[in-house]
Structure 1
Amino acid sequence: MNIIESLAAEMDMESNTTRKMLSRIPDDKLDWQPHPKSMPMRALAVHIAELPSWVSMALHADGLDFATLDFTPTPVASTADVIAIFEKSLAEGKAALSTATEADLEPTWILRNGDTIISTDTKGEVIRMAYSQTVHHRAQLGVYLRLLDIPIPGSYGPSADEPWS
């Protein structure tokens, strides 16, 4: 299996778990947050849902500059809206990977805020970071759901709410 095939397989595996986790969000809890410094669940869910599109961004851009970024979070009114964003983002990421070559993973990608360089990585490393971001924020969402006493699906095996059958 080459690197592109491995990244595609990982994207498929993680998407199943992410979809299960996002689907547990109650529509009436989208504005809930566990602490004033925490993101509201809506913002967290949309961020998770949009992360698969970072694969396309990594492959088709040379970087991201927060100073010039014109970003407006995608509005959502329901969990179904979040899932729709996720499915669109996932399709975009998969499409970008399906046409990529291993050579496409090698160029440098720079994350910056104006003149301040935050990180310089290869495009392949940025894709892996997007996957790590998905896992990180999905776990954060799991804490939100746990605090609301909503059953947590298993990720890499059983959960306390969904033990082995």
Structure 2
Amino acid sequence: MIKQGLLNEFDYEAENTRKLLNSIPDSALDYRPQPQLWSVGQLASHIAEVYNWYDGTFNTDNFDMGTYSYDKGDISRASNIVEKFEENVKKAREILANSDESTYMNNWSMGANGQTFIGPAPRIAMVRSLLYNHLYHHRGELVAHLRASGNKVPGLYGPTYEESHGK
């Protein structure tokens, strides 16, 4: 029952993420509102990467970032980021669909080099926090970056101001 709720949200929010990533023009990829912040391209690539964390979250009790490896590919084009997102989201959905609900309350942690920096906490709490809420946080940042760079964004939970006012 919990899994079905997670799958429903996953599907709905993956579509929102898809709409947002597809709205990024190549001309915005290098934009960053402040020097210390990620660029639009880096942020979009990280959003796509979060879907690659499903295996380490659902299928291990300790996600070791010290041994984690991820090839983000060429992020110089928005279409490449969308392609990586599509690849990752497909795998993530399969992992979630095949997950064992009886493990959702098992303790889970994330660390590197012998140090734990997240958890231990029930896996389901980390799924909600690390995989879902973390993603939504970065999508919000991406929306702000795109708007600040003069680009339009799609409505994710209803029409945007521009959409509702014909602009």
The verdict on a shared fold, with TM-score over 0.5 as the criterion, is yes
- The structure-2 alpha-carbon separation of the partners of 1:63 and 1:163, relative to structure 1 and needing over 3 Å to count, comes to farther
**Corresponding letter in the other structure for 1:137:** H
**Unaligned residue ranges in structure 2 (runs of 5+):** none
Residue 153 of structure 1 contacts residue 159 of structure 1 at CA under 8 Å; is this kept in 2?
A: yes
Report the equivalent of 2:52. 53
Tell me the number of residue pairs that the alignment of Structure 1 and Structure 2 aligns: 164
Q: Aligned partners of 1:96 and 1:66: how far apart in 2?
A: 19
In 2, are the aligned partners of 1:52 and 1:86 still within 8 Å (CA)? yes
1:2-41 counterparts in 2 under 5 A? 2-41=1-40
SS at match of 2:34: coil
1:38 match: secondary structure = coil
Cα–Cα, structure 1 residues 109 and 74, in superposed 2: closer, same or farther, change >3 Å?
farther
- 2:148 matched to 1:147? yes
- Residue in structure 1 matched with residue 125 of structure 2 by the alignment: 125
Residue 127 of structure 1 aligns to which amino acid in structure 2? Answer: V
Q: Shift in Å at residue 72 of structure 1?
A: 5.1
Q: TM-score, normalised by structure 1?
A: 0.89
Q: Kindly provide the CA deviation profile for residues 75-100 of structure 1, in whole angstroms up to 9, marking residues without a partner as x.
A: 32311111111111111111011111
Letter of the structure 2 residue corresponding to residue 147 of structure 1: A
User: How far apart, in 1, do the equivalents of 2:18 and 2:150 lie?
Assistant: 19
CA RMSD of aligned residues (A): 1.9
Q: 7-16 or 99-108, which moves further after superposition?
A: 99-108
In structure 2, how many angstroms separate the alpha carbons of the residues matched to 1:40 and 1:79? 12
SS of residue matched to 1:131: helix
For residues 93-134 of structure 1, the C-alpha deviation after alignment (integer angstroms, 9 at most, x for no partner) is: 110111112113222221124343212122222221211111
* TM-score calculated relative to the size of structure 2: 0.88
- Amino acid of the residue matched to residue 107 of structure 1? N
Which runs of 5 or more residues in structure 1 are unaligned?
none
